[in-house]
Amino acid sequence: MRTAIRFLRKGQIVELDRFEPTTTLLDYLRLSERSTGTKEGCGEGDCGACTIALGCLRDGKLIYEPVNSCILLLGQIDGCELVTVEDLDGPDGLHPVQKALVELHGSQCGFCTPGFVMNLFTLYHANTPGLTRQDVNTWIAGNLCRCTGYRPIVDAALEACRDGLNDAFAARAMETESKLAALQDAQDIHVGDDERFFFAPSSFQRLLETYGEHPDATLISGSTDVGLWVTKHLRDLPKVIFLGRVNGLSTCYEDEQGIRLGAGASYAVAEQFLKSIDPDLEVVISRIGSKQVR
């Protein structure tokens, strides 16, 4: 049993053993770290102003995914690399995404800009060959620009992604993969006490045991619904059980009997399997929420 969450931040491992069960990642960044580059907009995962990137291992390979930090609970980032807009500038100056946004006038009032930067950072690292304008439009559908500055933003995305990966994150990818691999374990995580806790079981058995002992606990997976209970309903959820660490629950695979989707799999993961059945399924999934929500 671990009594702290661990994640990678600016190349260093951070351990947190004290936080409220419903602390959002956005509140941690702005109130604890004082990393105020990440903005609070709608507080419900719709506008994308609070978008940050999470680096995680998928099949042993480092990928960066955009998430809405306003509705993601802090405990959910265990084992990931946390990247915010403050981290992007390097010894050579602005990140390619930031540089393109400046040169092509992709920032207007500026409030939404950090969220766009971070979402486009994940697009940059997706390193998609033959990236099209529609690809960019689909990727940034979860980011709202109130100044209607989408055309130069899309232009900047195409410019930044044109020549492939060439940033500090790509240069140290192998090192990051090694550090993230070292954070992976099969331990349960329990932060708090018996009355107020964030618990992340690693097995079905521990999930059943703990939920049996605490039937009043709130189960979360992606937190795109429960997150709004916290930010909009202002509900106090003293006991939170996160399903994201349960071994096998998020696994998707195909065998001779068909496609198997774990009950905890995200849309982003399930999409890769479902679109092989019919391309229309990919279109349908693209209309569910946004990149950050999926």
Q: Which domains does the chain have, with CATH numbers?
A: 5-87+172-242 (3.10.20.30), 96-166 (1.10.150.120), 252-286 (no CATH)
Model pTM score: 0.94
- Segment 65-94 shows an average pLDDT of 95
291 exposed, middle or buried (CB, 10 Å; 0-12, 13-18, 19+)?
buried
Q: In the structure, what pLDDT confidence band is assigned to residue 140 with cuts at 50, 70 and 90?
A: very high
Nearest to 69 by CA among 54, 79, 81: 54
Q: What is the mean pLDDT of residues 183-191?
A: 96
Q: Which pLDDT does position 59 carry in this prediction?
A: 86
Q: Degrees (nearest 5) of the Cα angle 205, 269, 286? A: 135
Secondary-structure breakdown of the chain: helix, strand, coil percentages, each rounded to the nearest 5: 35, 20, 45
- Using the predicted structure, report yes or no on whether residue 124 has a pLDDT greater than 80: yes
The pLDDT score that the predictor gives to residue 144 is 95
Pairing of strands 12-16, 5-9: antiparallel
235 has pLDDT over 90: yes
Q: Which residues contact 277 (CB under 8 A, 6 or more apart)?
A: 259
Label residue 172 left, alpha or beta by phi (over 0 means left) and psi (-120 to 50 means alpha): alpha
pLDDT band at residue 189 using 50, 70 and 90 as cut-offs: very high
63 - beta bridge partners? 56
